[in-house]
Structure 1
Amino acid sequence: MAEALRWTSQGSTLALSGDLERDSLLPFWQQRETLLKGKQVLNIAALERVDSAGLALLVHLYQQQIRSTPSFVISGAGERVKTLIALYNLNDIIPVV
């Protein structure tokens, strides 16, 4: 069973923690536009698990945000997330730092 996905907002950063998986992302998905409004950084350092649905969400969020905030970045990606991005050949679509 997936751990709850949690988020906190501080200034221009939105931080996610917990599991970003198919079973846990619906509440975030429903609030994503409001939560990301004016944000320049999505910090994912505290995510415990990310599945393919979670990765798809990150791709979507990144692509949506760079339209209004060209300096938007996803930061704190761990090795597992970076490996998923590389395995799906998404390095040019979702750069993470």
Structure 2
Amino acid sequence: MTDSQWQKQSDDSYLITGSLNRDSVPKIWQAVQQWQPESSRIEVNMEQVKRVDSAGMVLLIHLIEHAKKQNCHIMLSFVPKQLKTLFQLSNVEEYLGGHLKN
């Protein structure tokens, strides 16, 4: 299996690949913490995310907060069904509603 990664595609587009779980989140968070958005609106494509757990969900919430502090709005696209279920079970759907692209 390939490593999970946070990859820049363009100034306003990023890709997350692999698994977002307790094993991969620390590595991805290191990259995200140093990230400086180059646009006021960023799309994060999750089409290649194979598996996600609660640690991955928390990473995404922190990513959204990190971007907000830098006047950037994150939109998550191709959100896996498994993650949408975690959002529902954790009662964070309302908070993330403006960040989910259909």
TM-score by length of 1: 0.83
Q: CA RMSD in A?
A: 2.0
Gaps of 5+ in 2: none
Matched, 1:37 2:55: no
Report the counterpart of residue 24 of structure 2 in structure 1: 24
Letter in 1 for 2:27: P
Deviation at 1:8, TM superposition (A): 2.2
Aligned to 1:51: 53
Distance 1:7 1:17, change over 3 A: same
| CA deviations over 1:18-39 (Å, ceiling 9, x no partner) | 0000111222111113345225
How many residues in Structure 1 have an aligned counterpart in Structure 2? Answer: 96
Counterpart among 65, 69, 73 of residue 67 in structure 1: 69
State the SS of the aligned residue for 1:28: helix
User: AA paired with 2:9?
Assistant: Q
Aligned to 2:79: 77
Q: Which is worse superposed, 66-75 or 6-15?
A: 66-75
Q: What percent identity do the matched residue pairs reach? A: 27
Equivalent residues of 1:3, 1:24 under 8 A apart: no
Pick which of 36-45 and 54-63 moved more: 36-45
Mapped to 1, the partners of 2:44 and 2:81 lie a distance apart of: 17
CA distance in 2, matches of 1:91, 1:78: 14
**Normalising by structure 2, what TM-score?**
0.80
Letter of the 1:89 partner, please give it: N
